[in-house]
Amino acid sequence: MADTLTNATIHAALAEARERYIAANSASLAAHVEATAVMPGGNTRTVLFHAPFPLTMARGAGCRLWDADGHEYVDLLGEYSAGLYGHSNPVIRAALDGALDGGWNLGGHGVMEARLARLVCDRFPSLDLVRFTNSGTEANLMAIATALAVTGRRRVMVFGGGYHGGILYFGASGAGFGIPINAPHDWVLAPYNDAAGTAALLDESIGAILVEPMQGSGGCIPADAAFLAMLRAEASRIGAVLIFDEVMTSRMSAGGEQARLGITPDMTTLGKYIGGGMSFGAFGGRRDIMERYDPRLPDAIPHAGTFNNNVLTMAAGVAGLTHIFTAEAADALFARGEALRVALDGITPAMRWTGVGSLMCVHFQHDAPHAPAGLRDRPDLRELFFLDMLQGGFYLAKRGMVALSLEIGDAEGVAFVDAVREFAQVRRGLLQ
């Protein structure tokens, strides 16, 4: 009976929050209705949709956003970790202006691409050679295909709860193979953070092991160092290619989680902020693997992509890694995120915050999940939290994820902690 009453109260609170949201966002509603005429559900990027309709953002500056109705928000979404530099960094802007002054769509090798490749290879321990793509999804697809080509095997180990791109989704619950449009590889689904359970599935039929050092879409659940070390050892034993998907976790130090933990994979995939906020992806690794793409070789593997070396991404990426996201800046951002997560996690035992560094996610449960199987799905409370945070002027992922940008300062962090504390007080009767 108590659960029934609590659920009824949550539904009433959520209905009220939705009504408040609808009344306050008429311009976003009109934009959504117009978009539905030409896009399914008015949407071309599923993760950004939320009920009763998504906000339409009109502009951004620094760490702030303004929607079509003129509301101002502190941007805690950080474009799902791609927006590391905020919305108006002058160094990035100058690099883009310079690239535009030189023309675009040049159809040849550019002056910046080797510079960006050198910066990336110098940062990440696993990268002897690297190739660029247009997204993290594409980078992961290429890394998988490369691993299978060099091993001559067909099976790919992934992990329940993993997300490696739009067609490489393995379910937030860890219960299955995700979505019907997943790439049709011979998948082996292993339990994340379960060394014994995973080791039991490893054999010499597996050509690639693809893992996130922290599951981003799956709830910001970090991998245990011992679990990743086991994967490193077992991949070497069976001759499989170990791939770290560091599309999100590459920001955890100048050399990503692999450098922070001291565990070096055979290949790494990258994306998000490394292109300076422009479209970007990359895959790379050991020289003997990546040399297969050398077009000077008679049996080279081809790899095309019209915009792989587009001048805007190359220029912005070089500027960002050279002048802004230095090793010192990476360490400072990591420390700021760790401190913020500790403060948030201490507000109430009914809200657990997991993550690493500047990436974190809230879970409405008393025990912090260590694996996808430990997640307690509370979509009602997540939506209520999301709508209440919007009301308070904070924009984050609808699933409760936060990705700090370099523009987020102490004042924004303190204000967010205060807003979450107020939510916990006002909604304390709903939190169990």
Which residues neighbour 407 within 8 Å (Cβ) at sequence distance 6 or greater? 62, 63, 85, 86, 87, 89
Catalytic residue among 75, 245, 266, 388: 245
3-state SS, residue 288: helix
Q: Give me 308's structure tokens.
A: 């792989």
119-123 LR contacts (CB < 8 Å, sep 24+)? 119/317, 119/318, 119/321, 119/322, 120/270, 120/274, 120/282, 120/284, 120/321, 121/284, 123/254, 123/255, 123/256, 123/259, 123/321
293 is catalytic: no
Catalytic residue among 163, 169, 273, 395: 163
What Cα–Cα distance (Å) separates residue 362 from each residue in 180, 351, 365, 366? 28, 6, 9, 11
Cβ atoms 303, 143 nearer than 8 A: no
Q: Give me 14's structure tokens.
A: 């959520």
Catalytic residue among 21, 192, 194, 272: 272
163 is catalytic: yes
3-state SS, residue 73: strand
Quick one: DSSP state of residue 403? Answer: E
| Residues facing residue 209 across a β-bridge | 157, 242
What Cα–Cα distance (Å) separates residue 201 from each residue in 85, 162, 267, 399? 41, 17, 21, 31
398 is catalytic: no
Number of other residues whose CB lies within 10 A of the CB of residue 411: 9
Cβ atoms 140, 154 nearer than 8 A: no
Beta-strand relationship, 394-395 and 72-75: parallel
- Catalytic residues, by residue number, are 163, 245, 272
